[in-house]
């Protein structure tokens, strides 16, 4: 992968990571409700889980989903249902947690596992692997794509959690917090609409990986 392509990959990874989506909206809400450091395992889980997802897609999972559509449909349904459940949990939160109540932020393992049912994460992973991997150097290019996303992921996720912390004092008023959490829950649910709009391109990219007769086929 030459430097120009890698820079383009970094730009794509940054734009895809910093724009609103399920992960970032949940981090914003978690920053408000739990603070930055209690949200830190959530941020680490996103980075680790998405890196593993990228490697899995690059090394053949994307082609497998294209070859077995029922498996892809089941994954989408499970992801959509879980995302709606998380949206409901955020929308019904009515007070900030100080670690004394039953509420808690998402753990590292939960955040990492969520990437595997996160519709936006699948769109990003399949698109990145379809565009930026090189059939001549399959292993290296897949690792470089995963490394690029991991590199830009940290400033992206920490920015959204930081925004939440900055809003915490303003949202100390219970009425404001209530409507903020409702808004975050609704926006999180609405990300499914955007993901459905992107799904056709995602499936086309996955088909391109499968038709290449190896998981590293370039579009």
Find the mean pLDDT for residues 184-200: 68
* Cβ contact 142:59 at 8 Å: yes
Q: How far is CA 149 from CA 17, 27, 43, 52, 109, in A?
A: 8, 18, 14, 11, 19
Output 40 or 118, whichever has higher pLDDT. 40
Mean pLDDT of all residues belonging to the chain: 79
144 pLDDT band, cuts 50/70/90, is: very high
pLDDT tens-place string over residues 27-52: 998 998 888 999 999 999 999 999 99
pLDDT (0 to 100) of residue 197: 56
Residues 6+ apart with CB under 8 A from 128: 9, 12, 13, 16, 54, 145, 149
pLDDT (0 to 100) of residue 120: 83
* Cβ contact 49:113 at 8 Å: yes
Q: How many Å from the N-terminal Cα to the C-terminal Cα in the chain?
A: 15
pLDDT (0 to 100) of residue 215: 42
Residue of 97, 52, 63 whose CA lies nearest to 209:
63
pLDDT (0 to 100) of residue 101: 56
63 pLDDT band, cuts 50/70/90, is: low
pLDDT tens-place string over residues 65-102: 667 677 767 767 777 787 788 788 778 876 766 555 56
Q: What is the pTM of this model?
A: 0.77
Name the residue with tokens 């892809």: 72
Burial class (CB in 10 A: 0-12, 13-18, 19+), 134: middle
């Amino acid at each position: 992968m030459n430097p120009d392509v890698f820079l383009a990959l970094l730009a794509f990874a940054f734009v895809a990571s910093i724009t609103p989506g399920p992960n970032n909206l949940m981090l914003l809400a978690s920053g408000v409700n739990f603070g930055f450091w209690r949200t830190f395992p959530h941020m680490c889980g996103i980075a680790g889980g998405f890196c593993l997802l990228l490697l899995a897609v690059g090394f053949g999972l994307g082609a497998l989903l294209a070859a077995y559509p029922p498996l892809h449909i089941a994954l989408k349904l499970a992801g959509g249902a879980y995302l709606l459940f998380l949206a409901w949990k955020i929308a019904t939160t009515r007070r900030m947690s100080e670690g004394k109540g039953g509420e808690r932020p998402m753990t590292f393992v939960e955040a990492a596992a969520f990437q595997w049912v996160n519709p936006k994460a699948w769109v990003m992973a399949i698109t990145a692997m379809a565009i930026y991997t090189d059939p001549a150097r399959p292993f290296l290019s897949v690792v470089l794509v995963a490394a690029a996303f991991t590199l830009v992921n940290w400033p992206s996720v920490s920015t959204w959690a930081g925004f939440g912390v900055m809003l915490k004092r303003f949202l100390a008023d219970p009425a404001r917090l209530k409507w903020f959490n409702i808004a975050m829950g609704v926006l999180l649910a609405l990300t499914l609409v955007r993901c459905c709009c992107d799904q056709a391109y995602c499936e086309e990219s996955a088909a391109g990986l499968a038709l290449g007769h190896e998981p590293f086929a370039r579009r």
